[in-house]
Structure 1
Amino acid sequence: RGSGLPGMSVAWGLWAQDSGMTGHLGRVDRARLARAGIRPMATSVALELFDVALAAGQATPVAAEIDLPALRAQAGDGLMPDVFEGLVRLPVQRRNATSGTAAAGSDLAQQLSTMDESGRRELVLTLVRKHATTVLGRTDPSAVTPARPFKDLGFDSLAAIELRNRLVTATGIELPATLAFDYPTPDSLAQYLRERLQPAAPPLRPAAILAELDRLETALSTMASEEADRPLISARLISMVAKLAQTQTPDKTDVRERMDTATADEIFDFIDKEFRQS
């Protein structure tokens, strides 16, 4: 074509009739294509499109039968490929996909923050199983057992990418393309997502720590002196106090270095403070 000679490469959609390129496609693969808005073409329709492509005179025409309602559903979920954006009117949340995804992740994180560990595990695992069920073209999430590897469930690389894309939209966090291979079971994947969605708790302020110590002191005062666990609790408390004292003890090497570089006034000030502390 660049030299002015005739040439054309047709980018074919899915033919309904099996061929060497499509004969290996199973139920999961065809369901994925259907969700993406690609419908299988009858041979007669495909041949008509071939005639249209010849007449169009373009170098790389696309000959495919597109399911517009399916594309709109993909767009609504934030999953429609950009190449199809000119075919359907995008919903507001798709036009602003970044903020929409972030908002979804924020809502999920907020929901998790109000739950205990058991509830968080159940919620995220349910989310993973729901999207895995959709990717597999099934309707019953109970078929996606938590400990069963995705590979055994029927996942291939394309299914793994679709699951990752769906979870990015649902959680609002960036996830690696190798997600389903790095965390090969629904259970391990859910645990990873929980860790990503739940930020580490901020360190307690001194007032909060003192309040916890007050509660601990009250609890210890009600403990019977003959309880079998008393020595274990005492040893644990002694260990905690020792660690706390250790963090407050200045490092001898650091003190020596400071003394070597200190002025006379700084040395006398240091000695004076030490005597007053004693």
Structure 2
Amino acid sequence: TRQDPLDSFVLFSSVASVLGSAGQSNYAAANTFLDALAWYRRGQGQVALSINWGPWSQVGLAAAERQRGERLEHMGMGSIPPEQGLAWLEVLLRSEQSPTQVGIWPFHLRQWYQSHPLATQSPLFSQLEQQENQPEQRHALRTTLQTSDLATLRKILEEHIRAQIALILQTQQEEIGQQTSFKVLGLDSLMALELRNRLENTLGLSFPVTLIWTYPTIQLLTKALAEKIMLVDGIPVEEPETPSQESAELSDLLARIEDLSEEEAEALLMSELTNISERKQD
């Protein structure tokens, strides 16, 4: 094709040439050759584009071997839906300034660190981490929560959590009860990780892998997240005190005493206090 006036020369490479692939150095090397070919052609003034694709969800090796796809997702690398992959390809082909090499894969950096500790030493990951931690990337949801009172904060959080679960389970939000266990809803370990990742991304906070199973209902999870946001952002919000039954009864009693004589008031007060004391002992 050296002499052919091509509009495009696209190489389907793999993320393996960027991140490596344990036990598959030959596969990583083969895809690295594709990347190098694209750069060589560009150096010769010819068109070329090498795309380092991540796993696709319905086709390819990861889809053919379900356990392989699940293992990658557990480590922090999601799968690309075919329609989304084709949309990205169209964007790249239509671009007037097409790059020589581009990587496309759903990626959760912190989760990848947990399964690949040595990755923290990579210059590539250092740059990604710096970009991820930029102050200007504060999330709109988090900003809204910072200016909300406790009741509003919890309401917004609960609605947000319910919406994320509905997206993961592909169900209606109305079917997700506040106190229904996540296991009863059908959340498995991979879905729980996805929910944790979604909450980290939308709230701009870090949570442990066990977050979802430690707080296994929307009600418990909402309370836990609200407390963390208040702690991290220094929001001085206190729970409103709910009057106890005894204090409410005492207030009612004092209101009635105002219309009584001293003797009647003393007798009534002693009677009511005795009743309250007996209820406490029971």
| Fold equivalence (TM over 0.5) | no
Structure ranking higher on relative contact order (CA contacts 8 Å, 6+ apart): 1
- TM-score calculated relative to the size of structure 2: 0.42
- TM-score calculated relative to the size of structure 1: 0.42
